[in-house]
Structure 1
Amino acid sequence: MNNWLRKHPQVRTIRVAAADLNGQPRGKRIPTRFADKVTTEGTRFPFSVLSLDIWGEDIDDSPLVFETGDRDGVLKPTERGFMPMPWLDAPSALLPIWMFHEDGRPYGGDPRHALRAVLDRFKARGLTPVCAVELEFFLIDDSGRNLQIPISPRSGKRRKAAETLSIRALDQFDAFFTDLYDACEEMDIPADTAISEAGLGQFEINLMHCDDALRAADDAWLFKMLVKGLARRHGFAASFMAKPYEDYPGSGLHTHFSVLDQDGNNVFDNGGEEGTDTMRHAVAGCLQAMPGSALVFAPHANSFDRMVPGSHAPTGVSWAYENRTSSIRIPSGSHKARRIEHRVSGGDVNPYLMLAAVLGAAINGIEDGIEPPAPITGNAYAADLPQIPGDWPSAIDLFEKDPSVARIFAPELIRNFVLTKRQEVHYMAELTPQEQVEIYLDTV
């Protein structure tokens, strides 16, 4: 692992960072000369740090703080190893870490361990998920009182219009996207297609499919960090918040996944368009867990502004073939690539929790062999469907007590996430809408 540092002698400092429940990187800055200690022994900080609220404050009634003396966990490097941080001026390296108990047990409140535990259930059945994510984000000029699209470095103009699939919109920020793709190459993030989206200054970049879901979540987490940091170097903001503009669609984080058996066969592929029984069982599991998992897919106050009828964000629990109004879509195309697209999440999610919730629900359905309702046709918004929770407090309550969620996440993670979100609900109520946007713009 330290070979990377020896090959990059210009790097003088490293950051060690783990994802907290909100997906925020929490960690330390360390001089490179002390890297050996970190890579061999790990580092330490309190268990409570992975359960801070969106402002970075302790949770008032968390048992992790005063009740247990705010004890330390041990944080060890993930298999990802060192990577550059191209958004910083000084050459620096990032070392992703995750949390363990003193005796080496994984800490159940760590989002990355939550995903690992779900993948262990697939592995026990000889199965491997293959995942790809699509990340939408906004480029924003936040220098004034009102948010607006940045001035184009090429034209010097500010185009106040949505430009779906516009090459011109991409070319307006060519220098940013060129630097972004170069940085993804440096960080080994598999960035693929970029498009302009329907929102004001909104874009989407797809990450290539990966047969290691932990790595796919790493890529999404690192990509969000990179995009936000690099945008500031270009003089504007980038944000994955669910809905920064009232009059334009919000940002989603859609997930595509299939599942391979031990011989590398796609267990969703039956040679036709309809897919296998296993695919339907996975769909049924996703639908069953969807209301209870809504807090993962919409974790913030602003998240629910995106989830309104007719906004290209699902509001009902449904599945369909080749239908983007449904919450679960089975895309058309080659039967060999038969897969499930889960369309509920906003761009503001924690990628580890999101993939754990999606894949955990799917393995619930596969284990139980349950059947979904009939797929819908037409406009899902006009159909009489069970609804995804439409407000933050309801989503928190459901997450706390839903039996499907209890099969996916460790009890301590459920407790910590619920306590964190209830504290945020309390303090967000004291802020104006503009103050809420200010906190979410740079954090999520």
Structure 2
Amino acid sequence: MSIDNFATFRVAACDLNGQMRGKRMPASYFASLNDDTVRMPLSVLNVDIKGADIEDSPLLFETGDADGIMRPTSRGPVPLPWLDSEQPLVPMQMYFEDGTPFYGDARHALGRVLERYSQRGWQVVAATELEFTLVDDSGKQLRHVRDPRNRRRMDASEILSLSQMDAFDPFLSALYEACEAMGIEAQTTTSEAGVGQFEITLNHQEAMRAADDTWLFKSLIRGLAYRFDCAATFMAKPFMQDSGNGMHMHFSVLDADGNNIFNDGGPKGTDTLRHAIGGCLAAMQGSTLIFAPHANSYARMTPGAHAPTAICWAYENRTAAIRVPGGSPKARRIEHRVAGGDINPYLSFAAILGAALVGIEDKMEPGDPLTGSAYGQDLPQLATDWTHAVDLFEADHMMPRIFEAKLIRNLVQTKRQEIVVMGEIDESEHWKTYLDKV
């Protein structure tokens, strides 16, 4: 899109918590975006969930809190339909003064993983299914959303209910229009198990574009909902009695000729598929922090509550953490079902795709596929609390094969500070921190 008719525009990069950090700028600055004139402190991408600097961070001592250079990604500019004024967003990435990528930039972390696929002549194709919940945040406590038709508070889940979609048709119709304007290819919408909960599937496409879409889509949902007298959240567990919000990622890998390397012409898939699954399973416990990055995330990580917590895989089994869907062999793919809706899309994509590539490199075997429900079986589990997840992520031997050591350090320090910060807030008040952020 052109920004000729806009007085101002925004630039933003993604911090470790998936937040947009950036500036509003006059339109006259747009022509110089590629001239390394946009600068922000490197540390701004590694702040905590409340936007505070990390105390005693080595990053500050290493750089003296120096500025980094912001450069446009291949994505922007995109409109922001939820704003009253028309001002596009140009997504950016952070670089050091010498032009090397900043290790604390989450999008660069995914780029490093995808470059390793590219070196093999491969391209990753990915898509996400995102669950979110419409809520009423107008009072002292978070409450279920009201039915727009009669203003009565909703009190029951409506799995695959067309009636519930009818109730929120103006919002959902505006959402599809906004997605089209932003270049986000939204596919199907379903009503899910939680009260006021929906799932929207985004289109399969090149993995970086899919991650970009997911990041932008989350901001769109949260911003647009306020135009319809409610709020929207991707919190992993907005209500303890309801199903939580997840983010399922589907991916396959194409070779230089466009052939799916997971496809063996039949229902089981290739050895490469199984090795990729083996890598995902081997890294899953150590990656718990990526898939459950916040205090509220662990309320969702309860066995039997629609959130896969057992480390296992299966064909066509939604209780497993890794599912290989059925259908045409040409579309053979991996569905990674662990992450909450509150994740940073770039870090989540990097963790999943990086683990899969390690599995392929090491020819990791995933073991036999699960039969029956994973909920009632004695299986290895993900970390069940935040502190343990941080410790596992820091110590896991596979993480340095996926992420740069300094990014691992920065994320660990960020989360340890957040553990202290959120520990000083009553759990019933956590939603006030997370509602509009995750």
TM-score class, shorter-chain normalisation, is over 0.9
Structure 2 residue 65 is matched with structure 1 residue 70: yes
Counterparts in 2 of 1:347-366, with a 5 A limit?
347-366=341-360
1:173 to 168, 171, 183: 168
Residue aligning to 2:370: 376
Give secondary structure in 2 for the equivalent of 1:403: coil
Residue aligning to 1:129: 124
Give secondary structure in 2 for the equivalent of 1:332: coil
1:306 to 296, 300, 311: 300
Give secondary structure in 1 for the equivalent of 2:25: strand
Residue aligning to 1:251: 245
Q: What one-letter code is carried by the residue in structure 1 that aligns with 2:313?
A: W
Task: Tell me if structure 1 keeps the 8 A contact 2:308–2:320.
Answer: yes
1:4 to 2, 26, 30: 2
Residue aligning to 1:202: 197
Distance 1:149 1:435 in 2: 16
Cα drift, residue 437 of structure 1: 1.3
Residue aligning to 1:339: 333
Task: Tell me if structure 2 keeps the 8 A contact 1:18–1:96.
Answer: yes
Cα drift, residue 258 of structure 1: 0.7
Aligned length: 438
Residue aligning to 1:82: 77
Counterparts in 2 of 1:226-245, with a 5 A limit?
226-245=220-239
Residue aligning to 1:441: 435
Q: Which moved more, 1:368-377 or 1:216-225?
A: 368-377
Residue aligning to 1:267: 261
Structure 2 residue 159 is matched with structure 1 residue 161: no
Distance 1:274 1:209 in 2: 21
Task: Tell me if structure 2 keeps the 8 A contact 1:273–1:335.
Answer: yes
Q: What one-letter code is carried by the residue in structure 1 that aligns with 2:2?
A: W
Cα drift, residue 60 of structure 1: 0.4
Write the deviation string for residues 265-284 of structure 1: whole angstroms up to 9, x where unpaired: 01111011111000000000
Task: Tell me if structure 2 keeps the 8 A contact 1:42–1:77.
Answer: no
Kindly tell me: are residues 42 and 163 of structure 1, through their superposed partners in 2, closer, same or farther at Cα, counting changes over 3 Å?
farther
Q: What one-letter code is carried by the residue in structure 2 that aligns with 1:37?
A: S
Give secondary structure in 2 for the equivalent of 1:178: helix
Task: Tell me if structure 2 keeps the 8 A contact 1:155–1:172.
Answer: no
Cα drift, residue 146 of structure 1: 2.8
Q: What one-letter code is carried by the residue in structure 2 that aligns with 1:77?
A: P
Cα drift, residue 36 of structure 1: 1.5
Cα drift, residue 201 of structure 1: 0.5
Residue aligning to 1:152: 147
Cα drift, residue 148 of structure 1: 2.4
Q: What one-letter code is carried by the residue in structure 1 that aligns with 2:32?
A: K
Distance 2:425 2:142 in 1: 18
Write the deviation string for residues 104-145 of structure 1: whole angstroms up to 9, x where unpaired: 111111100000000011111111111010000000011123
Distance 1:136 1:344 in 2: 13
Task: Tell me if structure 1 keeps the 8 A contact 2:142–2:431.
Answer: no
Task: Tell me if structure 1 keeps the 8 A contact 2:128–2:247.
Answer: yes
Residue aligning to 1:35: 30
Cα drift, residue 45 of structure 1: 0.8
Residue aligning to 1:429: 423
Unaligned regions of 5+ residues in structure 2, if any? none
- Percent identity between matched residues is 57
Q: CA RMSD in A?
A: 1.1
Q: What one-letter code is carried by the residue in structure 2 that aligns with 1:351?
A: P
Structure 2 residue 52 is matched with structure 1 residue 57: yes
Cα drift, residue 384 of structure 1: 1.6
Distance 2:280 2:56 in 1: 32
Residue aligning to 1:16: 11
Give secondary structure in 2 for the equivalent of 1:109: coil
Write the deviation string for residues 236-270 of structure 1: whole angstroms up to 9, x where unpaired: 11000000101011000000011111100011110
Structure 2 residue 404 is matched with structure 1 residue 410: yes
Give secondary structure in 2 for the equivalent of 1:275: coil
Task: Tell me if structure 2 keeps the 8 A contact 1:64–1:71.
Answer: no
Structure 2 residue 388 is matched with structure 1 residue 394: yes
Distance 1:280 1:67 in 2: 42
Cα drift, residue 195 of structure 1: 0.6
Question: TM-score when scaled to structure 2?
Answer: 0.98
Residue aligning to 2:213: 219
Cα drift, residue 160 of structure 1: 1.2
Question: TM-score when scaled to structure 1?
Answer: 0.97
Write the deviation string for residues 72-131 of structure 1: whole angstroms up to 9, x where unpaired: 111100011211110000111100000111111111111000000000111111111110
Write the deviation string for residues 301-321 of structure 1: whole angstroms up to 9, x where unpaired: 000110101111111110001
Task: Tell me if structure 2 keeps the 8 A contact 1:61–1:419.
Answer: no
Q: What one-letter code is carried by the residue in structure 1 that aligns with 2:435?
A: L
Distance 1:81 1:340 in 2: 29
Distance 2:41 2:194 in 1: 40
Distance 1:65 1:233 in 2: 40
Cα drift, residue 42 of structure 1: 4.3
Distance 2:394 2:280 in 1: 17
Q: What one-letter code is carried by the residue in structure 2 that aligns with 1:199?
A: G
Residue aligning to 1:294: 288
Distance 1:46 1:147 in 2: 35
Unaligned regions of 5+ residues in structure 1, if any? none
Distance 2:36 2:386 in 1: 40
Task: Tell me if structure 2 keeps the 8 A contact 1:149–1:200.
Answer: yes
